[in-house]
Amino acid sequence: MKALLANEVLWGAVLANLIAQGLKLIIYSLLERRWSWERMLESGGMPSSHSATVAALATGVGIDAGLGSTIFAVTLIFALIVMYDATGIRRAAGQQAELLNDLVEELRTVLHEGFKPTPLKELLGHTYLEVLAGAILGVLVAWSYLLR
pLDDT tens profile 11-30: 999 999 999 999 988 988 88
Contact predicate 17/55, CB 8 Å: no
At 17, the amino acid letter reads N
Which pLDDT score, from 0 to 100, does residue 29 have? 85
Summarize pLDDT for 38-95 with one digit per residue, the tens: 766 777 788 999 999 999 999 999 999 999 999 999 999 999 999 998 887 766 666 7
Contact predicate 72/58, CB 8 Å: yes
What is the b/e burial string over 99-128, where b = at least 16 CB atoms within 10 angstroms of the residue's CB?
eebeebeeeeeeeeeeeeeeeeebebbbee
Comparing C-alpha atoms, which of 60, 67, 72 is closest to residue 11?
60
Residue 147 has pLDDT above 80, yes or no: yes
Task: Report helix, strand or coil for 119.
Answer: coil
Residue 116 has pLDDT above 90, yes or no: no
Instruction: Output the CA–CA distances (angstroms, integers) from residue 85 to 3, 66, 111, 140, in the order listed.
Output: 32, 26, 37, 22
pTM for the model stands at 0.78
Q: Which residue has the higher pLDDT, 98 or 50?
A: 50
In a 13 Å sphere around the CA of 6, the CA atoms on its Cβ side amount to 3
Residue 129 has pLDDT above 80, yes or no: yes
Residue 33 has pLDDT above 90, yes or no: no
Residue 126 has pLDDT above 70, yes or no: yes
Distance CA 68, CA 93 (A): 36
The runs of H, that is alpha helices, within the chain are 2-5, 8-32, 49-65, 70-87, 89-111, 128-146
Break the chain into its structural domains and give their ranges: 2-88+125-146
Residue 5 has pLDDT above 90, yes or no: yes
